[in-house]
Structure 1
């Protein structure tokens, strides 16, 4: 029986495509997984190198600008027009003509990318103002300098996408997903060198004075170098495939009149999505500025960046891997107006992606805090909790994101970017509404979190609108019903799997607090994350099997068949095909995206022999790809182990604690002692002092320094520099009553660190005069013990060398003052 039916031909083709898609998706997912593991290591080193708040916000704002601007100005346009155009060019003519057309497209796109780099570098100041205008002046200036180093990444992001799409069109999917491994290795190397030269930074780091040209160049330059090599490494697989890259300026006949309209609507859609990110980033920078002014930590830009890296893992690991493998087939079927095949491509991508992304979304939500402890263990507990909260909010949108992203691929394959623009509109609208509510109705510590609620809502709304519109464009109704049923079963399974994981996680394990070291926090987060993954993964796949999810059922059946099968013989397929299978024989097979039975029909001897030869070739290719994948995974794992050992055994600077004895000078009358003598003297009152009477001493807060409550503090406003000159300075005047008393010891508790705090026997009118009784750096507890008692009724704590405040910036902070006699 011959394959005369177009339906039968399509089903056989779909079976072959399913095998290739699964293999290609696995190769891409493996590359993405190794890259993400290295990315987590790089992120951990970045937090250690520049902290998690302050300088980190400046760098993350600058370093995300190239990717944001590329996606805004070119990314969606390239996806919308490049892949369909390349598919048409290569499908019509695999020879010189098709190659010339692709080279013409690449030449034009490269020129556009170079122009984008020139323009954005020239406009770096207003661009940074748009995204990070809420930062303090010194951080803003540093962000602009970082941006000048990072903006050339736009060209290499575009080059990476261009070369990757050509490889994908040639059915070579692995290199595109493995190339980011190179980027992460370069980034990790740069950060290890950075820490070696400049040491680690506190979690809240606002000191810009130490950032000279070499320091900036090492940090930002290594990141740009990584992106460049990520793109250029794709030249090697292209050369191996025989594709010759050359400049071609013959742009006529490429159909730009049509693609111009497609590109315009694609740009509009990407602009709408970028506007959502702009709103969130700007709100983050506003929160950064508010936190710097108030001396408090508020979730800001860098926290948004860290959470986004974790939140994007399901999409990059699963959705992009699957949809990229299917996209070329989608584009081909769209150009052939084969809507039944396009519907099958869409359903296959959506079912396979959502099966894993829904599970990963549940893991991120339940295990948000362990993941924060694991991937950013240098963050204090308060910041880790804030990171977990942001991650939970974003992760709620992952199921909707999977629908939205898969819909986008279909619209792009149909070159219907106008409809894609319409379904993207809810994103900036909802995010903007939540941002307005947060900014003007809530305190700053809620600004970012409330703003981000709009993102998962917009993805869900846009995804559902896209489903309805795809039905009108020709996607089969049964596809929508099948996808809805699949989603419902997976969502129920992940909720049921998450409940016991949550109970075990928070009912058995202790949450790391400030008493945990960075290493303890790291390993605690790692163990708890593994536990969440094991419990939820096991229960989820069991429940989806119970709920009759086809993909899980087929995998279990295939595994069971392989385990129970006898060793196969060595006969060559096709040599005895007629004796092995009669024309009346029928069997059933399950497809991963369509339930039911299908007839397996025999072919003629010649057809079977050709199929056997094709199968042998496919097996050889698969074996070569598998060997290459194993080698690359082994190299990636080895790199991770080496980097982990280097980081673990790297010498760390030893901090001096407040309770250590300091030998200030041979004539010093003071020393820091571990315990305070229990003989407090009454304090009649306390007033704040400002050397220039500029009002930055917050006089109304001065009584908080003697209220007996360590959780309350007097503090100055934040300064941009630590050294105050021209008579400027800040302090507290302590009134011990009308009659002089003998003072032996003064104890100051503070949340500020460093600087110099002087103890003087003088008055508020002359804070820098009188007898200097002691001069010590601030710490949690500082004790001035006098060698001889001093009889006085007035003491002054005075500083012209400002310490680093708890929220960053340079400010004097005093929680409690005790005078003992």
Structure 2
């Protein structure tokens, strides 16, 4: 157990460092974007958000779906062939690239339709036209996101995890540089300079073109580490009779899940786009929803994705060898480690949701709008809180899905996702119809969280049949300990927030200090209580660190 934890920790540490750097730069990019074009006022932010969200959403689905489900298990199994699987992998990648190219071309040509699907019918013609213009620049990202994922999964299958997690750093650096150029050339959006009717081809190209250039570089930078491990891709055609049938079956079921997920996201996007101020009250916008989702994804990306990536290669190997006991042990370790971090992250983000909203929005609002930065943060805060409430089951289900994919089973995750999406969509539509404008996005966050809980429970129940048992008692006891520690840490954080003067976090700098100090204090309390409760993973991590320092 200790040796497995040490190996997992080494692999995860490299990926977490890359992900953390990328996410921090991502927050800087989000803040700079909010400064450039605003968050809640003017309409431009929502137009760009929709245009840039479609390829991003497709990427998340592809990375967590078709490509992840197919590539690593297939490459590991193909490695047992006489040629080490080189011919098989070449054919698999050739087919995947062809499909990606076709999807990307069709998506770009369908830009007007996609924008209308993801936006609101209440948008003006000018706002729709601006979003479509952005989309023509952004939609080719689908191909390069897919290429990045394919090349990264080849590296992961060879246990070379670092480059895949560090490549997005380059993407964010280029995007930040592009936003800097935009602000230098055209100024910020604080006084309404970038309202919907003010955009020309040059402004659109600088903003959306730099975003796409970052994704292109993110993909091509992986060619260098692939060359270093000796991998040489040669396009190879002829896809019948070479063993691609299993891969095709998995891809078909996963593509079905992608379509279902897209339908659900279209519902969410349209309802979120319809959220607006009512009776003079401030409501969170579609762009604010995206910022909140960015906060939600931060702990998931740092821990769950890094651990799942490191574990997936091992899980696929164990599954191919029919070593069920090792699959169970690896999954249990992953769920407990992810839970240790995510329970704390959930408690902290809920407790500090308002100052966190101030930080991610950059304290930026349009001048003359009548909206204060703190009012805007209060509108976004509940969205963050309701979204992160589903963080623990979301990450748990992500790990559970990796086990299904390791066994080359994409059918079960599909049938889990269908009722989840239906359940979430019902909640989202009800939120749009029944809640006041300023609470619609919070209602969407609650609906998403309920869907995540449902999916995690069903996935675990079905997986228990496959693995005979999951070690549920151990998982429940561990999470109860995490929960007790988080409640105590939250009480300390909430007490501190109660006695703070609101003026302290009515600015970006003050909010950043509140988040930094508050999170640090809560972390110290959380780890201290976990240590006293003898949380096994924490004690083993401490022992591993002590051993490394001693040597």
Equivalence for 2:307: 322
- The answer to whether the aligner puts 1:405 opposite 2:394 as a matched pair is no
CA distance in 1, matches of 2:16, 2:246: 34
- The answer to whether the aligner puts 1:298 opposite 2:283 as a matched pair is yes
Q: Which runs of 5+ in 1 are unaligned?
A: 1-13, 569-821
Q: 1:455 aligns with which of 448, 458, 469?
A: 448
Aligned-pair CA distance for 1:561: 6.4
Pairs within 5 Å for 1:56-455? 56-72=45-61, 76-93=65-82, 95=83, 97-134=84-121, 135-202=123-190, 207-287=195-275, 290-291=276-277, 297-376=282-361, 377-379=363-365, 380-455=373-448
Do the aligned partners of residues 203 and 530 (structure 1) sit closer, same or farther apart at CA in structure 2, a change above 3 Å counting?
A: farther
Q: 1:524 aligns with which of 494, 510, 517?
A: 510
Q: Deviations over 1:533-577 (max 9, x none)?
A: 1111111111111112111122334556678x6xx7xxxxxxxxx
Aligned-pair CA distance for 1:203: 7.9
1:453 counterpart SS class = helix
Q: Deviations over 1:177-235 (max 9, x none)?
A: 00000001001100011000110103878722221001000000000000110111000
Q: Deviations over 1:248-291 (max 9, x none)?
A: 1132344333333222222222333333322221111122xx54
> Would you tell me which structure has more helix in proportion to its own residues?
2
Equivalence for 2:495: 503
CA distance in 2, matches of 1:307, 1:71: 16
Aligned-pair CA distance for 1:495: 1.2
2:156 counterpart SS class = helix
Q: Which has the larger radius of gyration?
A: 1
CA contact (8 A) 1:340 1:475 kept: no
Tell me the TM-score normalised to structure 2 length: 0.93
CA contact (8 A) 1:393 1:449 kept: yes
Do the aligned partners of residues 302 and 417 (structure 1) sit closer, same or farther apart at CA in structure 2, a change above 3 Å counting?
A: same
CA distance in 2, matches of 1:426, 1:342: 27
Q: 2:540 aligns with which of 554, 579, 583?
A: 554
CA distance in 2, matches of 1:224, 1:174: 23
CA contact (8 A) 1:25 1:321 kept: yes
Equivalence for 2:369: none
2:235 counterpart SS class = coil
Tell me the TM-score normalised to structure 1 length: 0.63
CA distance in 2, matches of 1:442, 1:174: 45
CA distance in 1, matches of 2:532, 2:492: 18
Do the aligned partners of residues 208 and 166 (structure 1) sit closer, same or farther apart at CA in structure 2, a change above 3 Å counting?
A: same
Give the number of the structure with larger relative contact order, counting CA–CA contacts within 8 Å between residues 6 or more apart. 2
CA contact (8 A) 1:381 1:512 kept: no
Pairs within 5 Å for 1:463-542? 463-477=456-470, 479-511=471-503, 521-542=507-528
Q: Which runs of 5+ in 2 are unaligned?
A: 366-372
CA contact (8 A) 1:70 1:158 kept: yes
CA distance in 2, matches of 1:91, 1:371: 49
Aligned-pair CA distance for 1:348: 1.4
CA distance in 1, matches of 2:288, 2:546: 45
Do the aligned partners of residues 506 and 456 (structure 1) sit closer, same or farther apart at CA in structure 2, a change above 3 Å counting?
A: same
Q: Deviations over 1:657-710 (max 9, x none)?
A: xxxxxxxxxxxxxxxxxxxxxxxxxxxxxxxxxxxxxxxxxxxxxxxxxxxxxx
> Would you tell me which structure has more strand in proportion to its own residues?
1
Do the aligned partners of residues 19 and 253 (structure 1) sit closer, same or farther apart at CA in structure 2, a change above 3 Å counting?
A: farther
2:65 counterpart SS class = helix
Pairs within 5 Å for 1:4-15? none
CA distance in 2, matches of 1:205, 1:58: 15
Give the aligned length: 540
